[in-house]
Amino acid sequence: MSTVTETPTIAETAKAFFEACEAGKGWAVCSAYCHPNASFAAQAEPLADVLTLEDYTEWMRALLGFIPDGRYEVKSFATDSERNNVCAYGVFSGTHIGPGGPMPPTGKSTSSDYVYVMEFQDGKISHMTKIWNAGMAMKDLGWSD
């Protein structure tokens, strides 16, 4: 008797990546869902120098070091099969209470809306764009005026 292994859908892959990335698992775990050279883009100041998905997953891992109560709530998850992408809309919440980050712990919190647009090629993420108002989150956390 042979076992047929089904290839995961892009929605299943996106969900697994999203959960691992948002939990701060870093590239060691997230790479299973991505092309090795997957690119990254965001029009957000804290991410201006982050150009690869590997670097972004490591940025998220570091962020959860100084925002250890960081968590997300998924508001929408949608697949666009025609364009071969998946969009995930979530709200990230957390408090800067851990060591590290741009300054000593502020004890301030944020709830920040964001969207990931994950583009797929051959069943794996080849590019991701993060849509996020970083300025509002940085103000909430006491990192800017």
Is the full-model pTM beyond 0.85? yes
Beta bridge partners of 72: 92
* Alpha-carbon torsion (124, 52, 108, 136), positive or negative: negative
* pLDDT tens string 60-114: 999 999 999 999 999 999 999 999 999 999 999 999 999 988 899 999 999 999 9
User: What local confidence, expressed as pLDDT, does residue 145 receive?
Assistant: 83
Residue 125 structure tokens: 């993420």
Specify the pLDDT at position 101.
Answer: 85
Residue 111 CB neighbour total at 10 angstroms: 12
User: How confident is the model at residue 59, as a pLDDT?
Assistant: 97
CATH architecture of 10-140: Roll (3.10)
> Residue 6 pLDDT > 90, yes or no?
no
Per-residue pLDDT, 40: 98
For residue 28, give every residue at least 6 positions away whose Cβ sits within 8 Å of its Cβ, in sequence order, or none.
Answer: none
Residue 5's pLDDT is 67
- Considering only the C-alpha atoms of the chain, give the largest distance between any 2 of them, rounded to a whole number of Å: 65
Structure tokens at 16: 């697994």
Q: 5 or 133: whose pLDDT is higher?
A: 133
Eight-class DSSP state of 52? B
Q: Do residues 12 and 35 make contact, with C-beta atoms less than 8 angstroms apart?
A: no
